[in-house]
């Protein structure tokens, strides 16, 4: 996906990371997981979560599957693919480098 | 995202949207379950349409989506104008079909590589010579001693392969009563290895199958023959068949698709060169082609020079054995032959040589027809675009880009082109084999593999692309440049579009003129060539090719002729070595009054008594042969013979000398006992050659009768359809002599017609294309005129209201068109005249500058143009000025 700006990139990175740790999840679960783990510091908007998920799906990083729920409508569950794992590693490395850079600048300047 | 997914998504957009909606619902349900406020959760999603768009960044998808809607729109447009669209599709289909069908023929005959490993390295060795009329031509026949020499000397540069001419043979699998015909090609034992071919059954020849003359009676079947004759039965191995004196054993079947190297005449089976045992050590017997599989890195020019040196040395040796006093220039031509290596990746055959130019001219005609069809469509598209000017302007004003408009128009053109090419493909499927079966005489038609494969598909794709661009792009560009403000007001310059249309009309007329002109030449040429006087009468004459296992004594032939004569319905019967016009010939030098050989050698034919009467060749003086006459003592000569060798005097009682058979040092003296009118021997185009007829019965030096192979019996029947007698005659021959078989029966007329097959084909196809071109051009003209009347109806109405005369109006409406007609005809005429030199060699006795041939297309086109113009003009002068002015 060519036009990923940093924030969108960050959302994708977080979603991929969570899927890699917690296994297949549906959109709401991913959203709450990010909120939970970041101790409410990061709030994901529904309006950007789903487009991000769909883009990742079309890129082949994650795969979606409809799963029947015990109650209520069926759920669309996302799962990390091999390509997604690769992407996660790359994104994570890049993020850490950028974050480290920013931190250094903040400290030293 | 992979392109495929994007494309897929375009076509399942509804499903994707439904899934998205469901996912949102599932999310909200989850949120509610966890105690969040339903309204707040809903708000957090924002606008779901936005999200839908954001979900799929889809530039390509948008484009594809547009394409889909354009397609729907275009097909709706085409459907709306059913008649016009059908006419457009059918005319283009006809043109595309003709193009495709010519491509199939030309590709199969001239370009498709042989199915061998190294087709691009194959060459055929040819030698140039000067023919009797002083024209340069080339020959490709070699004798085996020379081939051996070449092969030995060039073994480092190339693998040399001897490959015989593929020709029809009589073979028998069971008893001799069941003779059948099959095509045989003599091949060098190492041919299959050099071509990298593998057997599908048994084995192929090796060098060991081609060592000693007459010692290898083995045959390899071509796959296609194996399938046709034996139904792929593997028990065919070890089967034997008789051909002439030899019984051949089938040892293998060649690979699928390989039918020898004679493109147009597929071989059914192959035999080793050594099996032509009589010819193998004869330097005077030229009977096969020399092929060279050139090794990589070898300079062709160097190899050519080397071969030329060997061939010239060989000829210098040969010329020493020529009879003394041979004409000097003949010797010089013989010695100074230049040698060429002709590329032969697509095989090599006489058919290629005969039809290369004819087919390429047909391609030009077909191309012109295609252009005419394209011009029609371009005009149609332009007219339609201008009728839609307001719609297009509206599209522009609500934000459609120029590219978007071009796409819209091109989609419509492509749709027409694709529909037409599907129809055209069907047309080509039928027409290519139909045309092919008309090449060559009916009992031995040209056979080419015409597969519908990738090559054909690529060609059709390229054709559709080109056609769409040709007729679609320009109108699309014009239409897309619409300026909404002026278009919506209803008044762009209406003349600009007409100018383009008029230019296209001129081009159409020019192309149509050329097609007509060339077709006219072919028709006139065919007419003249088929009206050439024959000198004999082919009506109701049957020719029966006879075959025997061994040679037969003269009485045997007399008995068979007598038997044939006694069959009811037979008027006369005779025998000759071969029928007239069959393509066979025999000529050699003659010496008159003890002088040197005459520069022109006459033709000879051995005939029985009564043969002249059967063929209705009138006797001018002297007498016919009698049973006791024998070659080489007496001869009957024709007028041309008397003119050439005896200054036109009555030749009865005079004599000439000729070489005796293979021994050039011995001459025989021949007395002329009969004098007949000229009759054609083997050619419709050249003047009738000096011909001497000899008695079929011949004697050796001691006067003892010589046993001979049979020739062809000719029978004149009483019934209008001579073939009705065929089966009775076939039975009568073995009744007289049980060792005689009839291997083939043909009418003499068929033999004559085979010489005009190419002329007939060109005339037929030329006439067909001329008709198609005329109809297309007339329809185009009608369309443009009709459109311009429609467009100018306001103007016409006003003119009428102001008192213009109908004639004056008709002139105003059509003047431009007729101007274009004249311009187009002039251009067509000029181009036609320029084409003369190129097509001259295909014509017979027709001059391009003949005013009748120039006038015919001009008149036809003018008349059709007037017919096409009448309706729109009548419509124009019938316009009611009051209604028209009121309508505005």
B31 touches A: beta carbon within 8 Å: yes
A4 touches B: beta carbon within 8 Å: no
User: Chain B closest CA to A43's CA: distance in Å?
Assistant: 11
Name chain B contacts of A30, Cβ cutoff 8 Å.
Answer: none
pLDDT value for A5: 46
What is the number of structural domains in chain A?
Answer: 1
| Inter-chain CB proximity A58 and B24 less than 8 Å | no
- Show me where the domains of chain B are located: 3-57, 67-112+354-492, 119-345, 495-532+752-888, 549-739
| Inter-chain CB proximity B22 and A74 less than 8 Å | yes
pLDDT in tens, B146-171: 999 999 999 999 999 999 999 888 88
- 10 Å CB burial of residue B866 (0-12, 13-18, 19+) is middle
Query: Would residue A67 count as lying in a domain?
Result: yes
* More confident of the two residues B144 and A71: B144
How crowded is residue B461: how many other Cβ atoms within 10 Å of its Cβ?
Answer: 11
pLDDT value for B888: 54
B54 touches A: beta carbon within 8 Å: yes
B612: Cβ–Cβ under 8 A, 6 or more apart, which residues?
B574, B619, B624, B636, B674, B676, B693
pLDDT value for A3: 36
pLDDT value for A38: 84
pLDDT in tens, A38-49: 888 887 877 778
B27 touches A: beta carbon within 8 Å: yes
Helix (H) or strand (E) holding B529: helix B494-530
Query: Would residue A35 count as lying in a domain?
Result: yes
Distance (Å, whole) CA A56 – CA A48: 12
B107: Cβ–Cβ under 8 A, 6 or more apart, which residues?
B455, B456, B459
State which residues form the domain around A11.
6-108
Q: From the candidates A26, A32, A47, A81, which should be mutated to test the interface with B, based on the most B CB atoms within 10 A?
A: A47
Q: Please list the rounded mean pLDDT of every run of 10 residues in chain B (888 residues).
A: 63 74 82 78 66 54 75 83 79 89 89 92 90 76 94 93 90 75 93 94 94 93 94 92 88 94 93 92 89 93 94 90 75 87 92 88 90 87 77 77 81 88 90 82 77 86 86 80 65 63 87 91 90 92 85 88 92 93 84 80 92 94 91 91 90 88 74 94 88 90 81 90 86 86 85 87 89 87 82 82 83 83 89 81 78 82 87 84 70
A3 touches B: beta carbon within 8 Å: yes
Name chain A contacts of B30, Cβ cutoff 8 Å.
Answer: 26, 28-29, 72, 75
How crowded is residue B247: how many other Cβ atoms within 10 Å of its Cβ?
Answer: 11
User: Chain B closest CA to A65's CA: distance in Å?
Assistant: 11
B58, closest residue in chain A (CA to CA): A55
Place of tokens 């045997």: B556
Distance (Å, whole) CA B743 – CA B172: 11
- Under the banding of pLDDT at 50, 70 and 90, the label for residue A4 is very low
Give yes or no for a contact between B513 and B825, defined as CB atoms under 8 angstroms apart: yes
pLDDT value for B195: 94
pLDDT value for B247: 92
DSSP strand E in B266-307: where? 269-272, 288-294
Query: Would residue A1 count as lying in a domain?
Result: no
User: What CATH number is associated with residue A72?
Assistant: 1.10.10.10
What ipTM was assigned to the predicted interfaces of this complex? 0.83
Distance (Å, whole) CA B765 – CA A50: 66
B54: Cβ–Cβ under 8 A, 6 or more apart, which residues?
A47, A48, A51
């Amino acid at each position: 996906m060519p036009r990923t700006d940093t924030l969108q990139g960050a959302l994708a990175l977080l979603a991929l990371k969570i899927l890699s740790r917690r296994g297949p999840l549906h959109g709401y679960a991913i959203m709450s997981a990010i909120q939970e783990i970041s101790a409410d510091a990061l709030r994901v908007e529904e309006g950007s979560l789903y487009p991000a998920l769909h883009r990742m799906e079309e890129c082949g990083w994650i795969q979606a599957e409809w799963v029947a729920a015990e109650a209520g409508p069926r759920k669309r569950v996302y799962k990390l693919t091999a390509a997604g794992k690769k992407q996660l590693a790359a994104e994570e490395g890049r993020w850490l480098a950028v974050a480290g850079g920013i931190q250094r600048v903040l400290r030293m300047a | 995202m992979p392109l495929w997914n994007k494309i897929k998504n375009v076509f399942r957009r509804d499903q994707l949207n439904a899934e998205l909606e469901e996912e949102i619902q599932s999310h909200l349900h989850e949120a509610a379950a966890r105690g969040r406020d339903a309204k707040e959760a809903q708000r957090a999603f924002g606008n779901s349409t936005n999200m839908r768009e954001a979900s799929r960044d889809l530039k390509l998808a948008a484009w594809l989506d547009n394409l889909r809607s354009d397609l729907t729109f275009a097909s709706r447009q085409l459907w709306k104008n059913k008649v016009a669209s059908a006419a457009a599709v059918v005319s283009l289909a006809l043109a595309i079909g003709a193009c495709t069908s010519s491509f199939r023929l030309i590709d199969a005959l001239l370009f498709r590589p042989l199915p061998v490993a190294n087709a691009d390295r194959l060459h055929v060795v040819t030698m140039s010579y000067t023919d009797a009329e002083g024209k340069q031509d080339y020959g490709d026949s070699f004798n085996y001693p020379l081939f051996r020499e070449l092969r030995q000397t060039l073994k480092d540069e190339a693998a040399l392969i001897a490959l015989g001419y593929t020709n029809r043979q009589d073979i028998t699998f069971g008893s001799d009563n069941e003779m059948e015909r099959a095509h045989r090609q003599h091949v060098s034992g190492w041919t299959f290895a050099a071509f990298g071919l593998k057997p599908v059954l048994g084995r192929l020849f090796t060098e060991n199958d081609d060592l000693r003359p007459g010692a290898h009676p083995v045959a390899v079947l071509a796959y296609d023959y194996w399938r046709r004759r034996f139904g792929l039965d593997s028990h065919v191995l070890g089967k034997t068949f008789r051909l002439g004196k030899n019984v051949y054993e089938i040892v293998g079947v060649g690979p699928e698709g390989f039918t020898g190297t004679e493109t147009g005449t597929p071989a059914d089976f192959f035999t080793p060169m050594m099996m032509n045992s009589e010819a193998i050590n004869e330097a005077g017997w030229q009977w096969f082609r020399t092929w060279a599989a050139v090794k990589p890195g070898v300079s062709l020019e160097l190899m050519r020079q080397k071969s030329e040196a060997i061939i010239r040395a060989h000829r210098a040796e040969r010329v020493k054995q020529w009879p003394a006093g041979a004409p000097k220039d003949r010797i010089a031509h013989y010695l100074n032959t230049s040698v060429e290596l002709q590329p032969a990746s697509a095989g090599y055959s006489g058919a290629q040589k005969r039809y290369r130019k004819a087919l390429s001219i047909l391609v030009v005609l077909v191309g012109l027809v295609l252009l005419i069809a394209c011009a029609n469509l371009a005009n149609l598209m332009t007219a339609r675009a201008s009728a839609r000017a307001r719609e297009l302007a509206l599209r522009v004003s609500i934000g459609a880009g120029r590219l978007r408009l071009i796409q819209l128009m091109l989609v419509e053109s492509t749709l027409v082109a694709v529909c037409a090419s599907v129809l055209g493909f069907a047309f080509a499927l039928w027409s290519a084999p139909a045309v092919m079966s008309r090449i060559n005489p009916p009992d031995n038609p040209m056979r080419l593999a015409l597969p519908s494969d990738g090559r054909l598909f690529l060609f059709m794709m390229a054709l559709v692309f080109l056609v769409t661009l040709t007729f679609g792009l320009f109108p699309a560009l014009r239409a897309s440049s619409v300026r909404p403000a002026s278009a919506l007001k209803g008044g762009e310059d209406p003349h600009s579009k007409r100018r383009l249309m008029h230019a296209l009309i001129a081009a159409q007329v020019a192309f149509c003129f050329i097609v007509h002109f060339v077709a006219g030449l072919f028709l006139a040429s065919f007419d003249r060539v088929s009206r050439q006087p024959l000198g004999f009468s082919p009506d109701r004459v049957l020719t029966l090719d006879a075959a025997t296992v061994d040679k037969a004594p003269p009485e045997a032939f007399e008995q068979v002729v007598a038997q044939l004569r006694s069959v009811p319905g037979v008027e006369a019967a005779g025998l000759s070595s071969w029928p007239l016009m069959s393509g066979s010939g025999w000529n050699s030098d003659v010496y008159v009054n003890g002088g040197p050989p005459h520069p022109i050698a006459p033709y000879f034919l051995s005939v029985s008594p009564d043969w002249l009467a059967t063929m209705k060749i009138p006797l001018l003086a002297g007498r016919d042969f009698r049973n006791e006459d024998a070659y080489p003592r007496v001869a009957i000569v024709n007028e041309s013979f008397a003119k050439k060798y005896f200054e036109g005097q009555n030749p009865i009682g005079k004599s000439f000398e000729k070489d005796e058979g293979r021994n050039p040092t011995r001459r025989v003296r021949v007395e002329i006992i009969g004098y007949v009118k000229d009759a054609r021997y083997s050619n419709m185009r050249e003047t009738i050659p000096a011909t001497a007829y000899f008695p079929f019965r011949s004697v050796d030096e001691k006067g003892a009768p010589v046993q001979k192979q049979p020739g062809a019996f000719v029978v004149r029947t009483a019934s209008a359809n001579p073939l009705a007698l065929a089966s009775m005659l076939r039975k009568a021959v073995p009744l007289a002599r049980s060792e005689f078989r009839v291997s083939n029966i043909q009418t003499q007329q068929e033999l004559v017609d085979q010489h005009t097959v190419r002329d007939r084909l060109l005339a037929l196809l030329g006439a067909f294309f001329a008709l198609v071109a005329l109809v297309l051009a007339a329809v185009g003209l009608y369309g443009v005129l009709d459109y311009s009347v429609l467009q100018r109806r306001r103007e016409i109405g006003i003119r009428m209201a102001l008192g213009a005369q109908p004639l004056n109006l008709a002139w105003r409406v059509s003047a431009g068109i007729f101007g274009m007609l004249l311009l187009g005809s002039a251009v067509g005429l000029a181009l036609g005249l320029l084409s003369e030199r190129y097509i001259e060699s295909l014509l017979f006795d027709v001059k391009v500058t003949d005013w009748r041939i120039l006038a015919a297309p001009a008149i036809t086109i003018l008349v059709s143009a007037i017919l096409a113009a009448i309706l729109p003009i009548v419509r124009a002068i019938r316009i009611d000025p009051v209604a028209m002015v009121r309508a505005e």
